[in-house]
Amino acid sequence: MDLARALAAAPQVKWLIGRVTSLSGTTFTMTYRGGIVEGVAALDHYNPQVGDVVHVLASDLNGMIAIGSNNQPAVLPTPPVPGAPFTRAATTTATYQISTGTWVTGMLQASPDHLALWLYPTFSGGPSATAPMAQFTIRITALSDIPLEFILHASTTTGGVPEILATSYRIAAPPIGIVTDVPLPLEWATEILRGRAQGIGVGAGDYSLTLTGSSGLLTFTPLL
């Protein structure tokens, strides 16, 4: 949708054209229909100059903001692009049975009473914990045609009760027996990179399924 059509669909927003007469800090003054309008702001990509024939969006609720000018067309910033992906394999795979409080390593079973868990207790290298993420995925191979309910946990060993940090991220059933990289919430990547979380899990929800023991490869793809 172009700007004219977008404005037609939002009649409370007007497209004005004026001329910049003076600058004051982060705002400027412009002429409009024989009058003067003060305190007009501009988008980051537009640097107003005195004499510019300026294009401004205006509304009663949000005031005015300049989007560009005839002699200095609006040029949007270059969007960030995905960088090189970084992968991290799980140190341990295990199943925790909630009702009995027992662990079984090397097995990944998920059900209302079981958590299939991948542990990544030692994490070095990779993107900065403050880096924005383009994508964060976990590699799984499901052996059942069942939706997956992911959790984020902070357990570093197969002992005690798993510390669950976030739950109920549900996806549709992946293909049976096919290696699949499933996108996870980007904020989970940040929690792992900062050391506040140590793993991903599936289970403790409505469904029961089995995953292969070779699952669990995390892929972090930062934005540059």
Cα dist from 128 to 60, 139, 159, 185, whole Å: 42, 21, 29, 17
Instruction: Break the chain into its structural domains and give their ranges.
Output: 12-69, 86-222
Cβ-proximal residues to 11 (8 Å cutoff; 6+ apart), any chain: none
CATH topology of domain 12-69: OB fold (Dihydrolipoamide Acetyltransferase, E2P) (2.40.50)
Phi, psi of 189 (to 5 degrees): -60, -45
| 72, 178 Cβ separation under 8 angstroms | no
* pTM of the complete model: 0.66
Residues 156-167 have pLDDT tens digits of: 999 999 999 998
Residues 62-86 have pLDDT tens digits of: 678 888 777 655 454 566 788 999 9
Residues 101-148 have pLDDT tens digits of: 999 999 999 999 999 999 998 777 788 888 899 999 999 998 888 899
